[in-house]
Structure 1
Amino acid sequence: MTQVNNYDVKDMTLAGKGRDRIAWAALEMPVLKQVRDRFEKEQPLAGQRLGCCLHITTETANLLITLKAGGASVVACASNPLSTQDDVAAALVEYGIPVYAIKGEDNETYYRHLDAVLDSHPTQTMDDGCDLVSRLHQDRPSQIADIIGGTEETTTGVIRLKAMEKDGALRFPIVAVNEADTKHMFDNRYGTGQSTLDGLLRATNVLLAGKNFVVAGYGWCGRGLASRARGMGAQVIVTEIDPIRALEAVMDGFRVMTMEQAAPIADIIITVTGNLNVVDRQLRKIKDGCLIGNSGHFNDEINIGFLDELSETRRVVREFVEEFKFFDGRKVYLLADGRLLNLAAAEGHPASVMDMSFANQALAAEWVFKKLGTLENKVYVVPREIDENIAALKLKAMGVDIDVLTDAQQAYLSSWQSGT
Structure 2
Amino acid sequence: MSMLRDISLAGAGQTKIEFASRRMPVLAALAERFAETKPFAGHRIAACLHVTTETANMCKALVAGGAELALCASNPLSTKDDVAASIQRDIGAEVFAIYGCDRETFYKQVQGVLDIRPTIVVDDGADLTSIIHNDYPQLLEDIIGGTEVTSTGVLRMRNMETDGALKYPVLPTNDAATKHLFDNRYGTGQNTIDGILRATNMLLAGSTVVIVGYGWCGRGVAMRARGMGANVIITEIDPIRALEAKLDGLLVMKLDDALAHGDIYVTVTGNRDVITLSHMERMKDGAVICNSGHFDVEIAVEALQKAAVDRRELRPNCVEYVLADGPRIILLAEGRLVGQSAAEAHPAEVMDMTFSTQALGVQYLIENAASMKPGVHEIPRSIENIVASAKLEAYGVTIDTLSDAQQSYLTDWRVGT
Task: Give me the TM-score of the superposition, normalised by structure 1.
Answer: 0.98
Pick from 58, 61, 70: which aligns with 2:56? 61
Aligned pair partner of 1:311 in 308, 316, 322: 308
Alignment partner, residue 113 of structure 2: 117
**Equivalent residue in structure 2 for 1:400, among 397, 400, 407:** 397
How many Å separate the matches in 1 of 2:292 and 2:379? 24
Contact 2:124–2:153 under 8 Å retained in 1 = yes
> Alignment partner for residue 279 of structure 1, among 267, 275, 279?
275
Q: Secondary structure at the match of 2:275?
A: coil
CA shift for structure 1 position 307: 1.7
Equivalent-residue separation in structure 2 for 1:262 and 1:86 (angstroms): 39
Partner of 1:297: 294
Alpha-carbon shift at residue 315 of structure 1 (Å) = 2.3
SS at match of 1:9: coil
Query: Which of the residues 71, 74, 83 maps onto 1:79?
Result: 74
Q: Work out which of the residue numbers 34, 40, 46 in structure 2 matches 1:45.
A: 40
The 5 A counterparts of 1:19-418 are: 19-95=14-90, 96-280=92-276, 281-418=278-415
Q: In the alignment, residue 25 of structure 1 is paired with which amino acid?
A: A
Q: Take 2:38 and 2:261, find their aligned partners in 1: how far apart are those partners? A: 56
TM-superposed deviation, 1:310: 3.2
Contact 2:169/2:369, CA 8 A, preserved across alignment: no
Question: SS where residue 371 of structure 2 aligns?
Answer: coil
Matching residue's letter, 1:163: N
Q: Which whole-Å CA distance do the structure 2 matches of 1:372 and 1:413 have between them?
A: 33
**Superposed displacement of residue 329, structure 1:** 4.9
Unaligned runs of 5+ in 1: 1-5
1:196 maps to a residue whose letter is T
State the aligned residue count.
415
Q: 1 CA distance for matches of 2:57 and 2:400? A: 32
Aligned AA for 1:363?
L
- Once residues 380 and 9 of structure 2 are traced to their aligned partners in structure 1, the CA distance between those partners, rounded to angstroms, is 39
Q: Say what the alpha-carbon RMSD is for the aligned residues.
A: 0.8
- Misfit runs of 4+, over 4 Å: none
Q: For 2:163 and 2:186, how far apart are their aligned partners in 1?
A: 33
C-alpha separation in 1, matches of 2:334 and 2:296:
7
For structure 2, list consecutive stretches of 5 or more residues without a partner in the other structure: none
**Matched residue SS, 2:377:** strand
Alpha-carbon separation, structure 2, partners of 1:329 and 1:211: 21
Separation of aligned partners in 2, 1:30 and 1:71 = 20
- Provide the rounded CA distance (Å) in 1 between the counterparts of 2:62 and 2:200: 37
- Whole-Å separation in 2 of the counterparts to 1:99 and 1:276: 30
Question: Per-residue deviation at 1:93?
Answer: 1.0
Q: What is the TM-score with the length of structure 2 in the denominator? A: 0.98
CA distance in 2, matches of 1:9, 1:200: 28
Task: Give the fraction of aligned pairs with identical amino acids, expressed as a percent.
Answer: 52
Cα distance between partner residues in 2 of 1:173 and 1:16 = 38
SS of match in other structure, 1:264 = coil
In structure 2, distance between residues paired with 1:192 and 1:256: 21
Cα distance in 1, alignment partners of residues 42 and 303 from structure 2: 49
**What is the DSSP-based 3-state SS (H/G/I as helix, E as strand, rest coil) of the residue aligned with 1:261?**
helix
2:4 aligned to which of 9, 12, 18: 9
The superposition leaves residues 35-77 of structure 1 with CA deviations (integer Å, 9 ceiling, x where unpaired) of 1111011001110000000000000000001000001000100
Deviations 1:318-350 (A, max 9, x none): 110111101015200000000000010111000
Contact 2:198–2:343 under 8 Å retained in 1: yes
Alpha-carbon distance in 1 for matches of 2:101, 2:303: 24
What is the SS of the residue equivalent to 1:314? strand
Structure 1 CA distance, aligned partners of 2:280 and 2:338?
20
Q: Which amino acid aligns with 2:358?
A: Q
Q: What is the distance in 2 between the residues matched to 1:292 and 1:251?
A: 26
Moved more, 53-62 or 369-378: 369-378
| Structure 2 contact 282–326 (Cα < 8 Å) conserved | no
Q: 1:286 Cα deviation (Å)?
A: 1.2
Q: Which range moves more in the overlay, 244-253 or 277-286?
A: 277-286
Greater Cα shift, 311-320 or 388-397: 311-320
Paired with 2:368 and 2:416, the residues of 1 have a C-alpha distance of 42
Greater shift after overlay, 341-350 or 255-264?
255-264
Structure 1 residue 97: deviation in Å? 1.1
d(CA) in 2 for partners of 1:274, 1:315: 28
Instruction: Name the CA distance, whole Å, in 2 between partners of 1:316 and 1:135.
Output: 34
- In 2, Cα distance between equivalents of 1:248 and 1:362: 33
